[in-house]
Amino acid sequence: MTQSSGREHSHRGDIVFAFVLGLAGYIAWLLREVLVLLYVAALLAVVLTPVVHATGQLRVGRWQPLKGKAILFLLLAVAGGLAAFGFLALPPVLRDLRELSAQAPVRVPELLDKLRKIPFADQLDPDELSEKLQVWASQEAGHVLLSITGVAGKLAEVISEIVLTLYFILEGDRAYKWFLSLLPHAQRDRLDVTLQRAAVLMGRWLLGQLSLMLIFGLTSTIVFLALHLRYAYALGVLTGLFNIIPVLGAAITFVLALIVAAVDSLGRAIGVAIFYFAYLQIENSFLAPRIMKARVGLPSLAILVALLLGFTLAGVPGALVAIPTAVLVSVLVDEYLVRKDA
């Protein structure tokens, strides 16, 4: 009788546990966007906290000018970088937009004359064509408005991400200790040592990735200036920044640079293609293996799979934290699942 009641109590407990687990999974699915936002901010805080601490330890003799002001200094540095980027990159873009608007009354008739020279194009009714162009323009205006709304939403997400990351940097130690306090004492120290080891590897990944970003950004800027490519400074900075997302970042900036070069001449487009091909060969075969593999200890296949999973699950933010997440998972698996020989 006692065994039967104990078995029934165990079944009830299993059913309740399964129900609670399913409910928690359903709530997590409903809040997945918020949870991804929190996870990305927490992971970025883990990666950037050593940078903040190192900045705060800078000395001028015996004086530490940035002690307690490291985050403010980093924010000012980012703002200064954005201001310099705007000073160098925006004037050419604005100049081209002004020229385009000034030349539009002349360019549109020339374009229509060229269209009339196309076979069978002379059969088109100019009024009908004008009406279709107006409809197309109104539709494109609506698309642009939606795009602006989407960009505003993405900008709000970026600002939220920055604010959350700052809060995690400031309050991260307290939240981390609270998390460890939920675990039994027997498991607390082991997990603490494991997570600290993962944090060190993430910091090494950041240092290596920043090195690759700086090299790619400087090299591309020099090449773009040598090719007399318009928006050379802007494209060079974007190339360096987007390189924080391995593989995907280089592909995005390659398409942008190729489009800008193709507008001017085919030769410049070929020059951009040759540069990207040559540099990526050097980075993948020489720079990245020596800079990244020694720092994170992950094989190339694991990095590629992590990038694909991160981009599929959370887009660009997911790809941004894919490699630090892979580092964290590899350290946890090595500590808790891999059986080491005694």
Is it the case that residue 275 has pLDDT exceeding 80? yes
320 and 234 both lie in a single domain: yes
Pick the residue with more confidence: 186 or 5? 186
Quick one: pLDDT band at residue 301, thresholds 50, 70, 90? confident
Residues 302 and 241 in one domain: yes
The pLDDT of residue 276 is 92
Per-residue pLDDT, 226: 92
Q: Quote the pLDDT of residue 232.
A: 86
Q: Is 213 exposed, middle or buried (0-12, 13-18, 19+ CB in 10 A)?
A: middle
Assigned domain for 82 exists: no
**The pLDDT value given to residue 277:** 92
The verdict on residue 299 lying in a domain is yes
User: What is the pTM assigned to this prediction?
Assistant: 0.67
Last residue of a domain, one of 138, 159, 182: 182
**Pairwise CA distance, residues 242 & 216, whole Å:** 10
Q: Both tokens of residue 323?
A: 């490699």
CB 266 within 8 A of CB 284: no
Separate counts of helices (H) and strands (E) for the chain: 12, 0
- For the ranges 97-106, 127-136, 229-238, 271-280, which has the lowest average pLDDT? 127-136
- Confidence class of residue 18 from pLDDT cuts 50, 70 and 90? confident
| Same domain (yes/no): 267, 337 | yes
139 & 263 share domain:
no
Instruction: Answer whether residue 226 is part of any domain.
Output: yes
Quote the CA–CA distance of 154 and 151 in Å, as a whole number: 5
Non-local (6+) Cβ contacts of 73 within 8 A are 55, 66
Q: Domain containing 168: what range?
A: 11-68+125-182
Three-class secondary structure assignment of 57-98:
CCCECCECCCCCCHHHHHHHHHHHHHHHHHHHHHHHHHHHHH
Given 162, 182, 202, the domain boundary residue is 182
Q: Are residues 192 and 324 in the same domain?
A: yes
pLDDT above 90 for 73 = no
Q: Span 56-71, mean pLDDT?
A: 66
Amino acid 272: pLDDT: 92
Tokens of 112: 């229509």
Residue 97: inside a domain, yes or no? no
Which pLDDT score, from 0 to 100, does residue 278 have? Answer: 92
More confident residue, 280 or 57: 280
Indicate whether 176 and 303 sit together in one domain. Answer: no
Q: Select the highest-mean-pLDDT range: 71-80, 121-130, 227-236, 268-277.
A: 268-277
pLDDT tens, residue by residue, 92-120 = 767 766 766 666 566 656 655 655 565 55
Each residue's pLDDT tens digit, 217-229: 999 999 999 998 8
273 and 306 in a single domain? The answer is: yes
Is 2 within a domain?
A: no
Q: Residue 231 belongs to what H/E stretch?
A: none
Q: Are residues 132 and 197 in the same domain?
A: no
User: 31 φ, ψ to 5°?
Assistant: -100, 25
Statement to judge: residues 210 and 135 lie in one domain: no
User: Looking at residue 219, what is its pLDDT?
Assistant: 93
Q: Give the tens place of pLDDT for each residue, 33-56.
A: 788 788 888 887 887 777 777 777
Identify which has the larger pLDDT, 126 or 30: 30
Q: Is residue 282 domain-shared with residue 147, that is, in the same domain?
A: no
Note whether residue 89 is domain-resident.
Answer: no
The answer to whether position 114 is within a domain reads no
Which pLDDT belongs to residue 223? 93
pLDDT at residue 50 in the model = 76
pLDDT at 222: 93
Final residue of a domain: which of 153, 182, 211? 182
Same domain, 283 and 333: yes
Q: How many domains does the chain have?
A: 2
Residue 325 and residue 307: Cα distance in Å, rounded? 10
* pLDDT over 90 percentage in the chain: 6
For residues 202 and 196, give the distance between their C-alpha atoms in angstroms, rounded to a whole number: 10
Residues 245, 164, single domain; the answer is no
Residue 132 maps to a domain: yes
State the chain's mean pLDDT as an integer: 75
